[in-house]
Amino acid sequence: MTVEKFNPFSFYSSQLQALLTKAAKQKDPAMWLYNNKARTTLFMLEGLTRIHNKAFDEKIFLKWNERFKKLEDLFGEIDEYTMLHNELKANKKVNKEILKYFSVHSSNYISKCNRRLLDKDWLSHKMLTFDKKLSTYNVEYNQEYCDALRFALIDELDAILEFVLKSGYQFAMIEQVHEVRRKLRWLSIYAMSLRGLIQLKKPEKKVKTSIHYFTKEILQSPYNKLEVKPKKAAIILYDKDSFFALSWLINELGKLKDKGIMLEQLRDAIYITQNVTQEQAKGKAIGVLSMKSSAESDLLEQSSQIIKTALEKDKILDRLIIG
C-alpha cells in the first residue's frame, strides 16, 4: 500500500533546495547557509539515507549519504570554530592571537565549504537530481518496509552497546565520548527525519531509574515532539520513557563533550601561538577556563559513569524499540 503525498525524502529535499537557491544569490553562500540552519536539514537527509542504506543496501542511499555527510561535516567544523571564538572572546584571559587562531580556522572552513558548494554543483539544482534519482526507487510504507528499518535500528543498538563494552565503560579520550554521542544521536535523528513513521508509546509500567531523565528541558524540547502518524502507513514504536532518557543522555554528553573539546582546542591554540610545550599549553588552558587540574580526567569519568548507568544499569537502549 502506497501512502500518497507522504515522502520524508522529498520534504527535506525541497527544504534544502530552497535554502540552496537562496544561498546561490549570496556573496558568501556557506555562511548564509550556516546562519540559516542548513546543517539541520542536512542532518535529516543524512539520517534518512543512512538508515535506508543499512536497511536496503541500495547504492543510491550510500552515494547520497556520503554527499550529505561531507557537506554537513564542513558546517560542523564552521560551527565548532565559530562557537569557540564567540565563547572565548568574552574571556578576558584570552588574548587576540588565540582568538585569531579560531577565527582563521573558521574562515578556512567557510572557504572550503564555499568551494565544495561550487565544485559539487550544490548551488545548481543539486536536489532536483537527488529527487529524480530517488523517483526510480519505489517505496511502499507498509509493514515489510518498517520491519526492514526496525531490524536496521536494532543492529545499530547492538553496535552501540558493543562499542561501549569494548572500552569497559571507561573512556580515555574526549573523542570517544564524542563518538558514542554521535551514535546515540542518530537514534533520535531517525525519529525526527522519518516524519511520523516512528511513534512514541507510553510504557505500560513505569520503570525506576537511577537518573532523573525527565527534566523540564527534555520534556519541552522541540526535538522530542514527533510528527503524527501518516495515514495508512505502518509504523515503528519507540518506548516513550526510553526515548526521553536517550535525549537526556545525548544532551548531557553534549555538554561534557563541549567542555572537553574547548579545553583541547584552547590547548592547541596556546601551543601554536605561544612558545610553550604541549603540557604547559594544557596547564595554561586549564587556567584560562578556570578548571581544575584534573578537568580532563574528570570529564571523561563523568561521561563514562552516566553512559554506564544509562546503558548498563537503566538499560534505556534495551527498551527503546518496541516489538
Angstrom CA distances, 239 to 6, 151, 204, 252, 301, stand at 24, 16, 10, 20, 28
pLDDT score for 267: 97
pLDDT score for 138: 78
Mean pLDDT of 120-148: 91
Delimit the domains of the chain by residue range: 1-139, 140-323
Cell numbers 515522502: residue: 7
Among 197, 183, 187, smallest CA distance to 11 is for 197
Cell numbers 550510500: residue: 62
Percent of the chain with pLDDT over 90: 92
Collapsing DSSP to helix, strand or coil, 100 comes out as helix
* Model pLDDT for residues 67-94, shown as the tens digit of each residue: 999 999 999 999 999 999 999 999 999 9
> What does pTM read for this prediction?
0.94
Contact between 40 and 4 under an 8 Å Cβ cutoff? The reply is no
| Dist CA 300 CA 287 (whole Å) | 19
Q: Is the pLDDT of residue 6 over 80?
A: yes
* Model pLDDT for residues 232-268, shown as the tens digit of each residue: 899 999 999 999 999 999 999 999 999 999 999 999 9
Mean pLDDT of 28-41: 98
**Banded pLDDT at 3 (limits 50, 70, 90):** very low
pLDDT score for 139: 80
